[in-house]
């Protein structure tokens, strides 16, 4: 097999395969730490594909490099003796890379369930790295190598722990408190068991909680508008309560009533700010290392890992080992050390100014209007959080696709570097899909990320359209030549088979016909006021379930009761809503909405 390749090519591969894969691994780590936080801030498919590719390639590159270094260390070639020490020094960096950045640990919830696989991989990779280091002895770089090994194990252990804590079973377990029946429970049960043994009539009476249904005197929010810091504080409070929705926990009446009263007192803009912070915190707890870093153990581990990088850099520099090794190898070693320190420093800075850290340092007061001796620092925290606050921008839009009359809406337009979510609402028009009509964005906004992704999106959409046109032309063309016609049919069948096998057909259709548009202030206010209006009727679980499961009949009945005319029409419409399956009712409302939207007012 070796004779198939020229000696020069084989020599080039032997020298650069490990170095090239290490450079690739470092490059992928840089991409992830800078771009992975934007995963929750953008809805662009191509950008998400970039994150997905970098995430998968990062693990592969580190695993492959460790294996290649292990193989090279076993070769007893004299000319490689000097590089073995550096190769052994590089191997702990790959453990560091397998630990990944703080900004992403999983792509989907299912990835968190594979924490045991990562634990097994941690053990195997650590053993392989120790084996590589032992093969390199005697080694002038043994001390910094061992220090880096310790730091690499810490980083990979952080990722494994983050996956474990975000797994659904552990996530649910972390929210379940130990039952507290009270101080007299044991004595009560002893008396109850004794009386039952003596056949004495015994009855357990449940007393209603005297506080249930009683309104508290403490205000649920300050009398003034919420500051940026207070928005984060309240969001962190309700995040710790309602993150149990992910694992189907049941909440108490007190928690439900308190949250309802609180959101009743909010303006639509304040409610949107709190909700977006809550969703951002849920994302961080499930898909990043935030959950484990915001405790004492995680913070200590982070400081130790950074100290390992700094001390290894100092030892490598002070020993002046550069004269023993190739100049490029020394430069690559410095790049690994300096980039590792820089990336960890960026991660530490991001950690310090995150919503989670700020909410932890400045916890919410029981009385919102109480004087706080530490309030002098709130101005600085409000200034930091001001970069992430909700921003609205006036945007002109067409009333419909045919008229040139323009209407001005206020839409969300936060900076892509600081916003907490994409601020887009996705839409899919079934009628437009059937007619093969490409959707158009109603509120076009230009941002930094938009300028970067627009050319890529345009190219991808043009490529998808070219595939669609080519297949359509091949399917519709008439050819009298039977062999050519047979080849054409087989080619079309093959292309369709490939697209269906890899689920690319749905992806192509999604890119062509799914539209996204900015959330408007008018739409959000309507949604919020409707939710506030309906929740006043949800006084018990049964009524709440009835409202939540309504398919439009609740609104039709309410509208009918407010009008004196059109009663029979409402009754006729109800039969098409309540007597249909759920999926059929969704299609009916979808078509009705589109038809009414297209009717000129």
Residue ranges per structural domain of the chain: 2-173+295-355, 392-517
User: What is the distance between the alpha carbons of residues 281 and 397, in angstroms, rounded to a whole number?
Assistant: 33
Q: Given the structure tokens 């980039």, which residue do they identify?
A: 339
Instruction: Give percent of the chain with pLDDT exceeding 90.
Output: 24
Counting Cα atoms < 13 Å in the Cβ hemisphere of 61 gives 25
What pLDDT does residue 120 have?
93
What pLDDT does residue 404 have?
46
Give, in degrees to the nearest 5, the angle at Cα 129 between 124 and 132. Answer: 130
User: What is the distance between the alpha carbons of residues 581 and 526, in angstroms, rounded to a whole number?
Assistant: 27
484-531 tens-digit pLDDT: 666 766 776 777 777 777 777 777 777 778 888 888 899 999 999 988
Is the pLDDT reported for residue 468 higher than 90?
no
Q: Terminus-to-terminus CA distance in the chain, angstroms? A: 75
CB 479 within 8 A of CB 491: no
Q: What is the mean pLDDT of residues 12-34?
A: 87
Distance of CA 568 to the CA centre of its chain: 48
CB under 8 A, 24+ apart: contacts of 506-512? 508/464, 508/467, 508/468, 509/433, 510/45, 511/45, 511/460, 511/461, 511/464, 512/438, 512/461, 512/464, 512/465, 512/468
Distance of CA 13 to the CA centre of its chain: 38
**Given pLDDT bands bounded at 50, 70 and 90, which one contains residue 542?**
confident
What pLDDT does residue 477 have?
55
Token readout for 536 is 């006043």
38: nearest Cα among 350, 421, 347: 421
User: What is the distance between the alpha carbons of residues 286 and 110, in angstroms, rounded to a whole number?
Assistant: 11
Is the pLDDT reported for residue 534 higher than 90?
no
H or E stretch including 32? helix 7-35
What pLDDT does residue 38 have?
87
Is the pLDDT reported for residue 133 higher than 50?
yes
**Given pLDDT bands bounded at 50, 70 and 90, which one contains residue 368?**
low
What pLDDT does residue 18 have?
86
Judged by DSSP in three states, 203 sits in coil
Token readout for 389 is 């606050």
What pLDDT does residue 458 have?
56
Region of 361 (left: φ > 0; alpha: ψ -120 to 50; beta: rest) is alpha
Sequential DSSP letters for 307-361: HHHHHHHHHHHHTTGGGGS-HHHHHHHHHHHHHHHHHHHHHHHHHHTSHHHHHHH
Cis peptide preceding 138, ω within 30 of 0: yes
What pLDDT does residue 117 have?
92
Residues 6+ apart with CB under 8 A from 240: none
Is the pLDDT reported for residue 278 higher than 90?
yes
Q: Given the structure tokens 């709190």, which residue do they identify?
A: 274
Q: Which has more pLDDT, 62 or 483? A: 62
What pLDDT does residue 472 have?
59
Q: Which has more pLDDT, 442 or 186? A: 442
**Given pLDDT bands bounded at 50, 70 and 90, which one contains residue 1?**
very low
CB 538 within 8 A of CB 415: no
Instruction: Give percent of the chain with pLDDT exceeding 70.
Output: 78
What pLDDT does residue 507 have?
74
Is the pLDDT reported for residue 322 higher than 60?
no
What pLDDT does residue 163 have?
93
What pLDDT does residue 407 have?
73
**Given pLDDT bands bounded at 50, 70 and 90, which one contains residue 441?**
confident
Q: Of 209-218, 252-261, 340-349, 459-468, which has the strongest mean pLDDT? A: 340-349
Sequential DSSP letters for 233-294: HHHHHHHHHHGGGGGTPPPPHHHHHHHHHHHHTS-HHHHHHHHHHHHHHHHHHHHSSHHHHT
100-116 tens-digit pLDDT: 899 999 998 899 999 99
What pLDDT does residue 403 have?
46
Is the pLDDT reported for residue 195 higher than 80?
no
Token readout for 123 is 């053990």
Indicate if the alpha-carbon torsion angle 585, 589, 590, 591 is positive or negative: positive
Q: Residue 395: what are its φ and ψ, rounded to 5°?
A: -140, 130
User: What is the distance between the alpha carbons of residues 456 and 489, in angstroms, rounded to a whole number?
Assistant: 32
**Given pLDDT bands bounded at 50, 70 and 90, which one contains residue 254?**
confident
pLDDT averaged over the chain? 79
Token readout for 198 is 């003596």
Q: What is the mean pLDDT of residues 21-30?
A: 92
Q: Given the structure tokens 């929750």, which residue do they identify?
A: 40
What pLDDT does residue 596 have?
83
What pLDDT does residue 277 have?
94
Residues 6+ apart with CB under 8 A from 103: 32, 33, 36, 37, 288, 347, 350
What pLDDT does residue 211 have?
47
What pLDDT does residue 41 have?
87
284-318 tens-digit pLDDT: 999 999 989 988 888 899 899 999 999 999 988 88
Q: Which has more pLDDT, 593 or 455? A: 593
Q: Which has more pLDDT, 436 or 75? A: 436
Residues 6+ apart with CB under 8 A from 34: none
CB 387 within 8 A of CB 415: yes
Is the pLDDT reported for residue 433 higher than 90?
no
Is the pLDDT reported for residue 459 higher than 70?
no
Burial tier of 445 (Cβ tally within 10 Å: 0-12, 13-18, 19+):
middle
CB 230 within 8 A of CB 359: no
What pLDDT does residue 146 have?
92
Cα distances from 54 to residues 22, 328, 460, 471, in angstroms, run 14, 25, 19, 32
Q: Given the structure tokens 């009663």, which residue do they identify?
A: 567
Q: What is the mean pLDDT of residues 376-382?
A: 83
DSSP label of 215: P
CB 420 within 8 A of CB 276: yes
What pLDDT does residue 524 have?
93
Is the pLDDT reported for residue 156 higher than 90?
yes
Token readout for 102 is 């703080």
Q: What is the mean pLDDT of residues 36-61?
A: 87
**Given pLDDT bands bounded at 50, 70 and 90, which one contains residue 282?**
very high
């Amino acid at each position: 097999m070796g004779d198939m390749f020229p000696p020069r090519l084989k020599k080039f591969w032997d020298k650069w395969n490990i170095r090239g894969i290490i450079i690739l691994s470092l490059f992928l780590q840089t991409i992830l730490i800078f771009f992975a936080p934007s995963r929750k801030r953008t809805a662009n498919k191509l950008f998400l594909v970039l994150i997905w590719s970098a995430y998968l390639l990062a693990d592969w590159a580190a695993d492959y490099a460790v294996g290649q270094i292990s193989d090279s260390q076993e070769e007893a070639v004299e000319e490689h003796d000097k590089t073995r020490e550096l190769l052994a020094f590089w191997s702990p960096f790959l453990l560091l890379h397998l630990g990944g950045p703080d900004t992403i640990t999983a792509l989907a919830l299912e990835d968190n369930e594979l924490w045991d696989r990562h634990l097994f991989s941690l053990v195997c990779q650590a053993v392989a790295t120790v084996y590589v280091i032992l093969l390199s002895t005697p080694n002038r770089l043994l001390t910094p190598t061992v220090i880096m090994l310790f730091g690499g194990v810490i980083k990979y252990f952080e990722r494994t722990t983050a996956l474990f804590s975000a797994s659904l079973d552990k996530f649910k377990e972390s929210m379940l408190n130990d039952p507290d029946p009270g101080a007299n429970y044991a004595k009560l049960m002893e008396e109850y068991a004794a009386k039952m043994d003596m056949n004495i009539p015994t009855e357990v009476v449940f007393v209603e909680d005297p506080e249930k249904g009683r309104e508290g005197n403490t205000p649920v929010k300050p009398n003034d508008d919420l500051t940026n810091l207070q928005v984060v504080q309240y969001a962190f409070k309700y995040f710790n309560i309602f993150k149990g929705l992910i694992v189907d926990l049941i909440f108490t009446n007190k928690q439900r009533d308190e949250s309802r009263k609180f959101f009743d007192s909010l303006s639509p803009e304040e409610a949107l700010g709190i909700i977006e912070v809550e969703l951002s915190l849920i994302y961080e707890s499930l898909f990043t290392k935030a959950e484990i870093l915001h405790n004492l153990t995680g913070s200590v581990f982070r400081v130790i890992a950074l100290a390992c990088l700094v001390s290894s850099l100092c030892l490598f520099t002070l020993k002046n080992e550069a004269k023993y090794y190739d100049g490029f190898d020394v430069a690559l070693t410095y790049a690994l050390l300096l980039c590792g320190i820089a990336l960890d420093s960026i991660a530490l800075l991001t950690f310090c100014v995150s919503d989670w850290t700020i909410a932890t340092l400045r916890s919410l007061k029981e009385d919102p209007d109480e004087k706080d001796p530490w309030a002098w620092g709130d101005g600085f925290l409000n200034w930091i959080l001001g970069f992430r606050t909700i921003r609205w921008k006036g945007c002109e839009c067409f009333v419909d696709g045919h008229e040139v009359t323009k209407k001005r809406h206020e839409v969300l337009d936060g900076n892509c570097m600081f916003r907490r979510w994409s601020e887009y609402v996705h839409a899919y028009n079934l009628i437009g899909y059937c007619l093969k009509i490409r959707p158009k964005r109603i509120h076009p906004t230009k941002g930094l990320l938009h300028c970067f992704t627009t050319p890529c999106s345009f190219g991808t959409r043009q490529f998808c359209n070219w595939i669609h046109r080519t297949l359509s032309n091949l399917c519709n063309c008439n050819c009298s030549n039977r062999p050519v016609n047979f080849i054409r049919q087989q080619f079309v069948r093959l292309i369709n088979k490939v697209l269906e096998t890899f689920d690319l057909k749905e992806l192509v259709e999604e890119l062509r016909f799914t539209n996204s548009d900015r959330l408007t202030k008018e739409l959000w206010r309507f949604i919020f006021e409707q939710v506030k209006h309906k929740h006043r009727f949800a006084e018990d679980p049964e009524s709440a379930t009835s409202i939540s499961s309504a398919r439009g009949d609740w609104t039709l009945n309410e509208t009918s009761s407010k009008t004196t005319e059109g009663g029979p029409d409402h009754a006729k419409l109800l039969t098409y809503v309540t007597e249909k399956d759920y999926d059929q009712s969704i299609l009916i409302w979808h078509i009705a909405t589109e038809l009414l939207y297209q009717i000129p007012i």
